[in-house]
Structure 1
Amino acid sequence: MMTAKEIRDSFKSFFESKGHQIVPSAPMVIKDDPTLMFTNAGMNQFKDIILGNHPAKYKRVADSQKCLRVSGKHNDLEEVGHDTYHHTMFEMLGNWSFGDYFKKEAIGWAWEYLVDVLKIDPKDLYATVFEGSPEEGLERDNEAASYWEQFLPKDHILNGNKHDNFWEMGDTGPCGPCSEIHIDSRSEEEKAQIPGNQLVNKDHPQVIEIWNLVFMQFNRKADGSLEGLPAKVIDTGMGFERLVRTLQGKTSNYDTDVFQPMLKAIAEMAGTTYGQDNQKDIAMRVIADHIRTIAFSITDGQLPSNAKAGYVIRRILRRAVRYGYTFLGQKQAFMYKLLPVLIENMGEAYPELNAQKILIEKVIKEEEESFLRTLETGIRLLDKTMNDAKAAGKKEISGVDAFTLYDTFGFPLDLTELIPRKRHDCKRRRVQRRNAETKRTRP
């Protein structure tokens, strides 16, 4: 079984052998683009080349790009940790061509890498192609389909609509059809019952997209019409964590060696074992995910703060601290102690982590200690508020009191909801235990 490091290295080596320049990841934090705070896709660093604002230094490029997504339809921060596939920070493997090769090579090399290098079974692979759009005057992408037919049977080549299979940078600018590669990781018994082509793009957890090949061949003009691009662009993106999960035969990204070393370190710190308690598992996944985002953001020059990108990072850090405090009993700063594990796991691919280790640890520790003081103060005030409400004959505290704790003292609203519920549950369990003991002692 290939390790995550071996998989990342194999991708770079493969495309280097095809004449691609391997470039370093751009910073995850964007400072010179007013439309973006964070790099959320591999193409961000090549945006000006694609738009024609700058000439391309290299015609062929490949990399592993660190990305951050914390909003949008499939990137809700509050989902991270509660399921096994949402992440804030992730890596995107990609290869690009700026006016050089196009569909034939992009499809052929994708197949060669997946099947010949990674040894994925061809019968588990499916490809989608753009079905066309009559209102746009666009025909089906028969060119891409013809190249796929060299590798796949026709029932493994599926039409996709404009939403899934036509990529656009924005309201105007470069755009074009795309071809997604999906893999079916179900058991043979399940495959025999339902063919994989019926589950592509149906949100099945084991029939997933692993690679998107974008063929930028049009330019969207201000009036909405399309014209051909003088220099066509290939832009591909493959989610690294998802690929590792597939190759290592896991059903969860967190069960791969991308996250397991960190989860084991967190579990040891908390005196528990991952996989034995659902709520603790959620907390450990939150921390394992968030420490990556926080550390990489700091290396890229973004410190936690109360504004813009800094606020996003502070929010992510505090979310991790809350979960550690509430479910893992971490009443002292602890996340900064996890940095050596992160460096051991990712430092070779991203040497900036080790270069800024002291700064990262210092910033995280200070942020943790500051927020833990806020939590302790808030809990004392919440205790008083709950006692006052009880004395007044109320069963719950008011929304006004909860908002005051948040607005004046920075105490998280979700903890204001959670703590009384936990205490009620503990009280209920004590009553149930006493009732059970009484029944046992009765003659």
Structure 2
Amino acid sequence: DLPVNVSGIEQARLYATYFGGGDGLPADTEARDLWKKYMPESRILPFDKKDNFWEMGEVGPCGPCTEIHYDRIGGRDAAYLVNMDDPDVLEIWNLVFMQFNRLADGSLRPLPDKHVDTGMGFERVTSVLQGKRSNYDTDVFAPLFAKIQEVCKAPDYRGRVGDEDDDKVDTAYRVLADHARTLTYAITDGARPSNEGRGYVLRRVLRRAVRYGQQILGADPGFFSKIVPTVAECYGHAFPELHEKMGFVVEVVLDEELAFNKTLARGLRVFNRIADGVKAAGGSQVSGADAFRLYDELGFPVDLTEIMAEEKKLTVDKAGFEAEMEAAKERSREARKKNKSTSVSLNMEAEQTRYLEDHGVAPTDDSSKYNWDSTPTATVKAVYTPKGFVDGDKVGPDEEAVGIVLDKTSFYGESGGQVYDTGVLRVTGDSSGAGGGAEEACVFEVDNTQVFGAYVLHIGTVKSGAIGTGDVVKCVVDLERRGFVAPNHTMTHALNFALRAVLGGEIDQKGSSVEEEKLRFDFNHGRGLTPEEID
């Protein structure tokens, strides 16, 4: 209804796709039959897992999908061009039926709750409505392109792609516009360029943009931060936080940009020497060792090195780079071995928490975790192992990892950056859990405590005896260890207060780690602290 009756897109140009089956799953005939109400069967096309089964990664929620495709040309049968990467037949809408969970072994399990995840391609639909062959030719990008031309003193954008864009000028326009938006939104939402995780993704994005602007468009150092405010001008009416945090975003981008400039010129010289040497030797590939040197010593992400190599008609030994990277990580792991955690790991997903709900297991009452000397008596409601829940039988020392769900507990499950409690659960022969003179029927050593949904899972191993559902236990937290954790927790709050007092109210906590030996406090700030601020 929205694309046809509201937006006015010509229905005869639309095609629908659905999951045609595979991976042990039947075809999604329900979606197919629904589409028959709106278009002829010749425009309803089945595709396999590659095109019509959406997955977020190797594990996690997933499901079949159905898509809407649009033919820019019209007046023809374009069914054979759907899902063929033809620029004139493009997907504009996708509906994913989230109904499975992909496990680590590759198998699929039905999700306890199923959803429809829908997404419309805003820029693609805009190009359709404005009659443009490229998203970049629409008015969505016009203000950004104008700002790029002004700041970089670049020639006009002409919309060239591929071999036509032989000087890469138009490619640079597109890279700068896309990357300016990415960084502005991400930093506004609290992410920061760094050397790890999502932060490193942002750092790679920024460095790629800086290199295109300076090397291709001839921009001056510091140019990229001047483009960022235009993002807020374009989208701030829908996302007012872009205006609110623009000063901070510009500061972060400028600091990152200037830091990269310190190594950019040298890195380009080193790369050019490497590339010239490869060509002089009759080769066609930059070695993994050289690519890793550019990454490790000069801050050049490997994808940036690949782009520069491609411009010189060379490739990069990506496998060799990954081997060098893994060797460096192994050296780092060896250096950290002394601090390596020995705790047992065991996870519960939605399937397991639903199992507990369906079997009448009430949420764990963990209110006594706040009472320092509390050693409550509790009842075992479920026993969980890597093989699944144990029904009826008891488990003993032969199980390498066991999870115990109790009706109540004094153990603190890891959350909010604070490390979990450890200790023991004691099962006594008198079925009261009181201990005392009664012989202990089981000693369960708790190495890890995690919260999954409404349930606290005590993870560890049986040291003696056996434990099973219905057993009464005494919860004994290792209070000596907790005595080192608690003051570190308190000091994260003190540190938060001190940072705000010295650096200002814009400081936000972005994470923390509270352990018995140390604490870590993560916060946002656009620059390094001065010695005076630290003092």
Cα pair 2:229 2:250 within 8 Å, conserved: no
1:136 equivalent in structure 2: 24
Q: Counterpart of 2:32 in structure 1: which amino acid?
A: A
- Listed as ranges, the matches of 1:67-82 within 5 Å are none
1:260 equivalent in structure 2: 142
Percent sequence identity over aligned pairs: 47
Distance in structure 2 (CA, Å) of the matches to 1:363 and 1:327: 23
- Listed as ranges, the matches of 1:79-228 within 5 Å are 112-133=1-22, 136=24, 138=26, 140-168=27-55, 175-186=62-73, 188=75, 191=76, 195-217=77-99
TM-score by length of 1: 0.58
Q: Does 1:243 align with 2:125?
A: yes
Residue aligned with 1:312, SS: helix
Cα pair 2:19 2:53 within 8 Å, conserved: yes
How much does 1:128 deviate?
A: 1.5
In structure 2, the CA distance between the partners of 1:305 and 1:114, relative to structure 1 (3 Å rule), is same
Distance in structure 2 (CA, Å) of the matches to 1:239 and 1:231: 26
User: 2:177 is matched with which residue: 288, 295, 298?
Assistant: 288
How much does 1:417 deviate?
A: 6.3
Cα pair 1:181 1:211 within 8 Å, conserved: yes
Distance in structure 2 (CA, Å) of the matches to 1:128 and 1:276: 30
Residue aligned with 2:195, SS: coil
Cα pair 1:126 1:157 within 8 Å, conserved: yes
How much does 1:122 deviate?
A: 0.6
Distance in structure 2 (CA, Å) of the matches to 1:176 and 1:410: 39
Residues 152-171 of structure 1: per-residue CA shift (max 9 Å, x gap): 01111112223323345667
Residue aligned with 1:136, SS: coil
Cα pair 2:152 2:220 within 8 Å, conserved: no
Distance in structure 1 (CA, Å) of the matches to 2:229 and 2:72: 33
In structure 2, the CA distance between the partners of 1:407 and 1:233, relative to structure 1 (3 Å rule), is closer
In structure 2, the CA distance between the partners of 1:315 and 1:218, relative to structure 1 (3 Å rule), is closer
In structure 2, the CA distance between the partners of 1:136 and 1:265, relative to structure 1 (3 Å rule), is same
Distance in structure 2 (CA, Å) of the matches to 1:382 and 1:137: 49
Q: Counterpart of 1:295 in structure 2: which amino acid?
A: T
Q: Counterpart of 1:241 in structure 2: which amino acid?
A: E
Distance in structure 2 (CA, Å) of the matches to 1:119 and 1:159: 26
Q: Counterpart of 1:291 in structure 2: which amino acid?
A: A
Distance in structure 1 (CA, Å) of the matches to 2:5 and 2:66: 20
2:206 equivalent in structure 1: 317
In structure 2, the CA distance between the partners of 1:419 and 1:377, relative to structure 1 (3 Å rule), is farther
In structure 2, the CA distance between the partners of 1:205 and 1:420, relative to structure 1 (3 Å rule), is closer
- Tell me whether 407-416 or 279-288 shows the greater mean CA deviation: 407-416
Q: Hey, which of these two has a bigger chunk of helix by percent?
A: 1
Listed as ranges, the gaps of 5+ residues in structure 2 are 314-535
Distance in structure 2 (CA, Å) of the matches to 1:145 and 1:415: 42
In structure 2, the CA distance between the partners of 1:301 and 1:137, relative to structure 1 (3 Å rule), is closer
How much does 1:143 deviate?
A: 2.4
Distance in structure 1 (CA, Å) of the matches to 2:97 and 2:250: 42
Distance in structure 1 (CA, Å) of the matches to 2:152 and 2:248: 25
Cα pair 1:283 1:323 within 8 Å, conserved: yes
How much does 1:145 deviate?
A: 2.2
Aligned-residue RMSD, C-alpha: 3.8
Distance in structure 1 (CA, Å) of the matches to 2:218 and 2:15: 46
User: 1:365 is matched with which residue: 238, 249, 254?
Assistant: 254
Distance in structure 2 (CA, Å) of the matches to 1:414 and 1:219: 35
How much does 1:313 deviate?
A: 0.8
Cα pair 1:211 1:238 within 8 Å, conserved: yes
Cα pair 1:402 1:416 within 8 Å, conserved: no
In structure 2, the CA distance between the partners of 1:394 and 1:358, relative to structure 1 (3 Å rule), is same
Distance in structure 1 (CA, Å) of the matches to 2:296 and 2:61: 45
How much does 1:181 deviate?
A: 1.1
1:13 equivalent in structure 2: none
Residues 401-442 of structure 1: per-residue CA shift (max 9 Å, x gap): 887666544467579869999xxxxxxxxxxxxxxxxxxxxx
TM-score by length of 2: 0.49
In structure 2, the CA distance between the partners of 1:367 and 1:242, relative to structure 1 (3 Å rule), is same
Residues 370-409 of structure 1: per-residue CA shift (max 9 Å, x gap): 22232345567789x79xx9xxx9999x978887666544
Q: Hey, which of these two has a bigger chunk of strand by percent?
A: 2
Q: Counterpart of 1:143 in structure 2: which amino acid?
A: E
Residues 36-57 of structure 1: per-residue CA shift (max 9 Å, x gap): xxxxxxxxxxxxxxxxxxxxxx
How much does 1:302 deviate?
A: 1.7
1:80 equivalent in structure 2: none
Q: Counterpart of 1:315 in structure 2: which amino acid?
A: R
Cα pair 2:152 2:223 within 8 Å, conserved: no
How much does 1:196 deviate?
A: 1.1
Listed as ranges, the gaps of 5+ residues in structure 1 are 1-111, 422-443
- Tell me whether 221-230 or 206-215 shows the greater mean CA deviation: 221-230
User: 1:275 is matched with which residue: 149, 158, 165?
Assistant: 158
Q: Counterpart of 1:178 in structure 2: which amino acid?
A: C
Distance in structure 2 (CA, Å) of the matches to 1:419 and 1:209: 30
Question: How many residues are treated as equivalent by the alignment?
Answer: 297
Distance in structure 1 (CA, Å) of the matches to 2:128 and 2:263: 42
Q: Does 1:233 align with 2:115?
A: yes
In structure 2, the CA distance between the partners of 1:417 and 1:230, relative to structure 1 (3 Å rule), is closer
Cα pair 2:13 2:74 within 8 Å, conserved: no
Distance in structure 2 (CA, Å) of the matches to 1:321 and 1:409: 14
How much does 1:239 deviate?
A: 2.0
Distance in structure 2 (CA, Å) of the matches to 1:219 and 1:122: 35
Residues 13-68 of structure 1: per-residue CA shift (max 9 Å, x gap): xxxxxxxxxxxxxxxxxxxxxxxxxxxxxxxxxxxxxxxxxxxxxxxxxxxxxxxx
In structure 2, the CA distance between the partners of 1:237 and 1:334, relative to structure 1 (3 Å rule), is same
Residues 204-254 of structure 1: per-residue CA shift (max 9 Å, x gap): 111111111123445668887767666442221222222222222111111
Q: Counterpart of 1:284 in structure 2: which amino acid?
A: Y
Q: Counterpart of 1:199 in structure 2: which amino acid?
A: L
Q: Counterpart of 1:238 in structure 2: which amino acid?
A: M
1:303 equivalent in structure 2: 192
